[in-house]
């Protein structure tokens, strides 16, 4: 036969085969969903034999293998099922590409239990036996199955992409792509690794079973005794719901039902059903509401139930208070008894005109409003009578009855005429590193750099004015040949926020907390040549423009370390930035290194029989610490106000009936002080204005007492300050 005759004969054969294949595919796809289950077991795999063989032939053509026209392609499942590349793709004959063709499994299962037997062609779907063309098998410790076996029984879609030479499995919105002789596959475009390499055997594309089960989240169990894999192929939709209300109140709350539903195969949800649902429950109690949905295939989800607790309507609190009497003298102490109640709890108590005493005669009305956790309120008023008779003057009453930590107003202009307590002090070896200048920082840079050894205290107080978000760091660098041990003993940090005095006050309180509890203690080891970020609370938060931070900390190092206090953009690596930062110039505030920053005062003489004052931070009785600004060429500086200095004051003999108060002299002051181990605010409501406000610290009883005070100035406040000692009026 001539060359043209041979070519014509081949083309005719291709056309004939293509026609037969197309007809067989159409016939196979025309079967009803249940058709395959009704045919005899021996023929169960024959319905797709021609189509599967065609896919296998195409994959072998793509991979260079010899195609077989006699062996079917279908396979059983195991841990690693597989299928020949192109198993569901284009025909081996015919010149036109069949790229993108989609063929669903002949048996369109709505789900159930699929059982695969090891080394057997038998498989069972919902108790019905089917045969695959190749058994599930173990290879190199991995269980393999044919992709076709899973696809046909589970009702997934399968296709072949001739350009990428990938077999594609689709279930709902999930897409899996497999390629012959590879150890990877794609799940929704993301490459994943299989436990073994895909391969072809007798025209069956084999992949690890777990590649399919994990990608499509198909639960399965291994029956060791029966040597079988049991897969749950349920494709029922899933329904659930939540309640959008924090609380459901009978007769008041319109219940917000927030349903959620989905189909594992991507079916549309077409119907829903509720049981027990009410838009508003009129009676308190527990109500079970059940929800289920139906998808487009007719399957109903399992019912989802939620118990809704319906509570009775909340009642407002009952405000109530009494006083110990109805009639009082001027300057007589009034005792208030709060008898307010609520079913859950009272959140706030707001008093109007509640005073410990009144100093003008007449009728006085006091009001109390209470608020419960639900925001409901109740108000009560009580009127008392103040007579013309005086029990105590205002000054006398305040000295006797103002609570510790509260303030009162007095004539502060007279205080400078009081005698000073002439005391002496000793200094403990403490190196103070004060980074407080420039207090307002306008650019990134190094705020202070110093080297120190032994006991070291940091006082850091800065405001961000860079116009961007920044962070502050303290970096310790070990330039020694041996590792350094750095111990953090005490630390108080506050901020960032825009209230400098509040930040300073809070940092002192937390510093005292750490002194008393040891909750900030830790050891840090720094290797030779290593730099580490320390005082991590400082750098834990981002400072917005205008924010202020304040920190007090006590450290001890067994080697000399270099410390850098820096401010950099919040998005920058401080270690990378440090070598390139400029040294910032100081402003009118103080910075520097100061020695002997812990002062101990012991006073043994009796104090309090006459009005006296003990001054701190005045540069006379309490001289300012001298130091140097190492970033300005070791220029001498004075620590104005002695910020960062810790005073430990022991007064061994405080006279009976003595009132001890705290009176600022340099301006506004707010902070804390330790009094015999108890933290006392200065003051508990607002701060103290100089010179006519003073806060109560302590009262002695009818006997002489010793008194210990621990004080450090709160950053943001003003020095100097007086500790005032005076006799209280006799009680009447």
What local confidence, expressed as pLDDT, does residue 58 receive? 39
What local confidence, expressed as pLDDT, does residue 203 receive? 86
Q: Can you tell me the distance from the alpha carbon of 732 to that of 730, in angstroms, rounded to the nearest whole number?
A: 6
What local confidence, expressed as pLDDT, does residue 471 receive? 98
What dihedral do alpha carbons 204, 210, 214, 220 form, nearest 10°? 110
Q: What element of type H or E holds 113?
A: strand 113-117
For 260, the token pair is 């959620």
Are 472 and 439 spatial neighbours (Cβ–Cβ below 8 Å)?
A: no
Q: What three-state secondary structure class fits 677? A: coil
Q: Can you tell me the distance from the alpha carbon of 620 to that of 314, in angstroms, rounded to the nearest whole number?
A: 63
pLDDT digits (tens, 9 = 90+) for 496-516: 999 999 999 999 999 999 999
What local confidence, expressed as pLDDT, does residue 111 receive? 56
pLDDT digits (tens, 9 = 90+) for 386-406: 999 999 999 999 999 999 999
What local confidence, expressed as pLDDT, does residue 112 receive? 74
Are 48 and 74 spatial neighbours (Cβ–Cβ below 8 Å)?
A: yes
Mean pLDDT score of the chain: 85
What local confidence, expressed as pLDDT, does residue 49 receive? 27
Q: Which of these, 180, 203, 185, lies nearest to 195 by C-alpha position?
A: 185
Q: What element of type H or E holds 514?
A: helix 500-517
Strands 362-372 and 377-390, by their bridges, are antiparallel
pLDDT digits (tens, 9 = 90+) for 685-718: 889 999 999 999 999 999 999 999 999 999 999 9
Strand ranges of the sheet holding 166-171, from the earlier edge strand across to the other edge: 102-104, 157-161, 166-171, 174-178, 184-187, 190-193
pLDDT digits (tens, 9 = 90+) for 400-431: 999 999 999 999 999 999 999 999 999 999 99
Q: Count the residues in the chain.
A: 732
- More confidently predicted of 278 and 158: 278
Cα 283 vs. chain centroid, distance in angstroms?
39
pLDDT bucket at 631, cuts 50 / 70 / 90: very high
pTM for the predicted model, two decimal places: 0.66
Residues 380-386: contacts with CB within 8 Å, 24+ apart?
380/319, 380/320, 380/321, 382/321, 382/322, 382/323, 384/323, 384/325, 384/326, 384/327, 384/328, 384/334, 385/326, 385/327, 385/328, 386/327, 386/328, 386/329, 386/330, 386/358, 386/360, 386/361, 386/362
Mean of pLDDT values over 120-144 = 88
Which segments within 321-392 are labelled E, that is strand?
A: 321-323, 327-330, 336-338, 346-352, 362-372, 377-390
HEC sequence for 271-285? EEEEECCCCCCCCCE
Cα 352 vs. chain centroid, distance in angstroms?
40
Q: Can you tell me the distance from the alpha carbon of 388 to that of 328, in angstroms, rounded to the nearest whole number?
A: 9
Q: Can you tell me the distance from the alpha carbon of 398 to that of 84, in angstroms, rounded to the nearest whole number?
A: 95
**Residue 38 confidence (pLDDT) above 60:** no
pLDDT digits (tens, 9 = 90+) for 50-63: 233 333 333 343 33
**Residue 21 confidence (pLDDT) above 50:** no
First to last CA, the chain: 139
**Which of the residue ranges 46-55, 324-333, 343-352 would you say has the lowest mean pLDDT?**
46-55
**Residue 45 confidence (pLDDT) above 80:** no
pLDDT bucket at 263, cuts 50 / 70 / 90: confident
Interacting residues of 11 by C-beta distance below 8 A, sequence separation 6+: none
Locus of tokens 């199955």? 145
């Amino acid at each position: 036969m001539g060359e043209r005759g041979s070519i014509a004969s081949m083309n005719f054969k291709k056309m004939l085969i293509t026609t037969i294949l197309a007809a067989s595919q159409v016939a196979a796809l025309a079967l009803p969903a249940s058709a395959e289950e009704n045919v005899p077991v021996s023929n169960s795999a024959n319905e797709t034999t021609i189509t599967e063989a065609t896919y296998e032939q195409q994959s072998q053509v793509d991979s260079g293998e010899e195609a077989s026209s006699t062996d079917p392609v279908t396979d059983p499942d195991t841990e690693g099922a597989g299928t020949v590349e192109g198993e569901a793709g284009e025909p081996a004959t015919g010149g036109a590409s069949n790229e993108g063709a989609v063929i669903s499994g002949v048996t369109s299962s709505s789900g159930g239990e699929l059982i695969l037997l090891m080394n057997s062609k038998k498989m069972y779907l919902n108790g019905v036996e089917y045969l695959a063309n190749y058994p599930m098998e173990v290879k190199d410790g991995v269980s393999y199955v044919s992709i076709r076996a899973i696809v046909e029984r589970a009702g997934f879609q399968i296709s072949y992409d001739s350009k990428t030479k990938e077999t594609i499995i689709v279930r709902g919105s999930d897409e899996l792509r497999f390629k012959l002789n590879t150890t990877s596959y794609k799940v929704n475009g993301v490459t994943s690794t299989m436990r073994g390499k895909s391969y072809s055997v007798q025209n069956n594309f084999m992949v690890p079973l777990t590649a399919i089960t994990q990608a499509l989240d198909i639960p399965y169990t291994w029956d060791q005794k029966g040597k079988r894999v049991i897969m749950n192929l349920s494709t029922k939709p899933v329904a659930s719901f939540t309640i959008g209300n924090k609380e459901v109140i009978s007769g008041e709350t319109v219940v917000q039902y927030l349903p959620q539903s989905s189909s594992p195969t991507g079916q549309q949800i077409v119907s829903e059903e509720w049981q027990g649902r009410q838009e508003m429950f009129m009676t308190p109690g527990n109500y079970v509401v059940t929800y289920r949905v139906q998808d487009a295939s007719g399957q109903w989800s399992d019912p989802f139930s939620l118990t809704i607790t319906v509570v009775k309507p909340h009642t407002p609190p009952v405000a109530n208070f009494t006083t110990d009497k109805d009639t009082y003298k001027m300057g007589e102490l009034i005792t208030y008894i709060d008898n307010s109640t609520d079913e859950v709890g009272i959140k706030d108590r707001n008093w109007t005109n509640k005073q410990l005493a009144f100093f003008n005669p007449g009728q006085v009305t006091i009001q109390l409003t209470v608020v419960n956790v639900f925001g409901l309120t109740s108000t009560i008023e009580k009127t008392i009578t103040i007579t013309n008779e005086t029990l105590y003057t205002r000054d006398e009453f305040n000295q006797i009855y103002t609570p510790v930590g509260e303030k009162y107003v007095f004539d502060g202009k007279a205080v400078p005429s009081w005698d000073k307590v002439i005391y002496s002090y000793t200094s403990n070896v403490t190196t103070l590193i004060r980074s407080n200048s420039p207090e307002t920082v306008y650019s990134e840079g190094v705020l202070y750099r110093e080297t120190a050894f032994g006991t070291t205290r940091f006082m850091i107080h800065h405001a961000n004015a860079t116009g961007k978000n920044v962070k502050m760091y303290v970096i310790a660098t070990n330039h020694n040949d041996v590792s350094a041990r750095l111990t953090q003993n005490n630390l108080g940090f506050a901020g960032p926020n825009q209230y400098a005095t509040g930040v300073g006050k809070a940092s002192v309180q937390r510093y005292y907390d750490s002194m008393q509890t040891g909750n900030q203690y830790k050891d840090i080891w720094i290797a030779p040549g290593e730099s580490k970020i320390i005082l991590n609370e400082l750098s834990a938060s981002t400072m917005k423009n205008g924010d202020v931070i304040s920190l007090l900390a006590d450290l001890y190092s067994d080697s000399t370390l270099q410390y850098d206090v820096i401010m950099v953009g919040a998005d920058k690596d401080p270690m990378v930035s440090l070598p390139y930062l400029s040294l910032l110039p100081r402003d009118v505030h103080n910075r520097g290194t100061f020695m002997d920053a812990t002062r101990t005062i012991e006073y043994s003489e009796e104090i309090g029989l006459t009005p006296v004052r003990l001054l701190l931070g005045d540069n006379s009785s309490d001289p300012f610490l001298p130091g140097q600004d190492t970033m300005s060429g070791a220029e001498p500086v004075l620590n104005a106000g002695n910020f960062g200095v810790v005073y430990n004051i022991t007064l061994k003999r405080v006279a009976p009936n003595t009132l001890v108060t705290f009176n600022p002299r340099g301006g506004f002051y707010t902070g804390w002080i330790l009094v015999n181990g108890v933290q006392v605010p200065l003051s508990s409501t607002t701060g103290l204005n100089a010179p006519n406000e003073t806060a109560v610290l302590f009262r002695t009883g009818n006997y002489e007492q010793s008194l210990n005070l621990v004080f450090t100035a709160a950053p943001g406040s003003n020095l100097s300050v007086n500790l005032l000692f005076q006799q209280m009026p006799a009680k009447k």
